[in-house]
């Protein structure tokens, strides 16, 4: 018996085999979930199709989360394919490279808008379109966030502000959707080397600092994040909503580096 037997889920955010979303896809599929995966544009289609061969024939759909029409069409497709939806993984973020180095004070209006649109507003847009497919049986929405939305992390800059808005969106959505028994939570992952994190200036230094100063004295693994996402999607987490769970070797509790 798998933890997610009979459940249907959709995963946003697979770019390649290092993606946190890919680790989550493998974990939830292992526990019996039927999946749909999305890809951002033709450039990433082949990657996602290749990875999908390792799963049990997931639906594969294009979705740029800045485009309401594409989000709408994803959920129209899911309505036909699955009928009902039980969980959503939101593992999507983007900011202009120039805004992930130097000083936050230099962030452009357009750079700020883009980071908020892709990395924060998209969660609300996705929930809006998903609601008709989830409201009868309840479900679970899980977003990926980072400590840079709570505390200042040098170079994380505009993405930290977007994560802060994402964290608050999680709480407002948890309140709104609670009446439908839909839970909304986020996982705050420690730094992991991926395509997105490679864009943050000084990321190697961050990894080293995290390893040396976290209580567990090691970096975060995608599989640890994936297992927490699995838990949040399962019935084991039925009493948890509006929560930001840190999966970061405990780094966030520290007030001083040694």
Active site residues: 146, 156
Should residue 247 be labelled a site residue for ligand NAD when binding is judged by CB under 6 A? Answer: no
Smallest separation, CB 202 to ligand NAD (Å): 13
- CA dist., res. 106 & res. 226, Å (int): 35
Smallest separation, CB 172 to ligand NAD (Å): 18
Beta bridge partners of 2: none
Should residue 170 be labelled a site residue for ligand NAD when binding is judged by CB under 6 A? Answer: no
9 close to 232: Cβ distance less than 8 angstroms: no
Query: What is the rounded end-to-end Cα distance, in angstroms, of the chain?
Result: 45
Beta bridge partners of 12: 90
- CA dist., res. 40 & res. 136, Å (int): 29
Interacting residue with ligand NAD among 35, 59, 85, 91 (CB under 6 A): 91
SS3 237: helix
Should residue 36 be labelled a site residue for ligand NAD when binding is judged by CB under 6 A? Answer: no
Should residue 71 be labelled a site residue for ligand NAD when binding is judged by CB under 6 A? Answer: no
- CA dist., res. 35 & res. 82, Å (int): 9
Smallest separation, CB 203 to ligand NAD (Å): 8
- CA dist., res. 225 & res. 178, Å (int): 24
243 close to 183: Cβ distance less than 8 angstroms: no
Return the H-helix or E-strand segment holding 38.
strand 34-39
Smallest separation, CB 33 to ligand NAD (Å): 19
Should residue 94 be labelled a site residue for ligand NAD when binding is judged by CB under 6 A? Answer: yes
Smallest separation, CB 187 to ligand NAD (Å): 8
Interacting residue with ligand NAD among 8, 29, 37, 40 (CB under 6 A): 40
Per-residue contact string for residues 116-145; x = within reach of ligand NAD by CB under 6 A? --x-------------------------xx
How far is C-alpha 231 from the geometric centre of its chain's CA atoms? 14
Of the candidate spans 62-70, 74-82, 105-113, 125-133, the one that interacts with ligand NAD by CB under 6 A turns out to be: 62-70
Of the candidate spans 18-26, 72-80, 81-89, 95-103, the one that interacts with ligand NAD by CB under 6 A turns out to be: 18-26
- CA dist., res. 40 & res. 123, Å (int): 15
Q: Label residue 159 exposed, middle or buried (CB < 10 Å: 0-12, 13-18, 19+).
A: buried
Q: Which of residues 186-205 bind ligand NAD (CB under 6 A)?
A: 189, 191-192, 194-197
Pairing relationship of beta strands 8-12 and 87-90 according to DSSP bridges: parallel
Beta bridge partners of 182: 139
How many residues lie near ligand NAD (CB under 6 A)? 27
Should residue 88 be labelled a site residue for ligand NAD when binding is judged by CB under 6 A? Answer: no
Smallest separation, CB 244 to ligand NAD (Å): 11
Question: Which CB, 15 or 141, lies closer to ligand NAD?
Answer: 15
**Residues that bind ligand NAD in the complex, under the rule CB under 6 A:** 13-15, 19-21, 40, 44, 63-66, 91-94, 118, 144-146, 189, 191-192, 194-197
């Amino acid at each position: 018996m798998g933890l997610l037997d009979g459940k249907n889920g959709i995963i946003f955010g697979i770019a390649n085999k290092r993606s946190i979303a890919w680790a989550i896809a493998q974990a939830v599929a292992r526990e019996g979930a039927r999946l749909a995966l999305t890809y951002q544009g033709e450039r990433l289609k082949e990657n996602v199709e290749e990875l999908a061969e390792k799963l049990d024939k997931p639906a594969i759909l294009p979705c740029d989360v800045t485009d309401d029409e594409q989000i709408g069409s994803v959920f129209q497709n899911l309505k036909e394919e699955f009928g009902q939806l039980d969980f959503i993984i939101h593992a999507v973020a983007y900011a202009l490279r120039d805004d992930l180095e130097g000083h936050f004070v230099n962030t452009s209006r357009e750079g700020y808008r883009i980071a908020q649109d892709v990395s924060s507003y998209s969660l609300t847009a996705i929930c809006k379109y998903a609601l008709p497919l989830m409201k009868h049986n309840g479900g679970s929405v899980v977003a990926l966030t980072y400590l840079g939305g709570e505390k200042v992390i040098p170079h994380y800059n505009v993405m930290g502000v977007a994560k802060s808005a994402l964290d608050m969106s999680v709480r407002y959505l948890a309140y709104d959707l609670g009446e439908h028994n839909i839970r909304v939570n986020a996982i705050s992952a420690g730094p992991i080397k991926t395509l997105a994190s490679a864009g943050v200036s000084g990321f190697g230094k961050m990894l080293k600092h995290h390893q040396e100063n976290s209580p567990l004295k090691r970096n975060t693994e995608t599989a640890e994040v994936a297992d927490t996402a699995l838990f949040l999607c399962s019935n084991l987490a039925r009493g948890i909503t509006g929560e930001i769970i840190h999966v970061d070797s405990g780094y966030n509790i520290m007030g001083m580096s040694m």
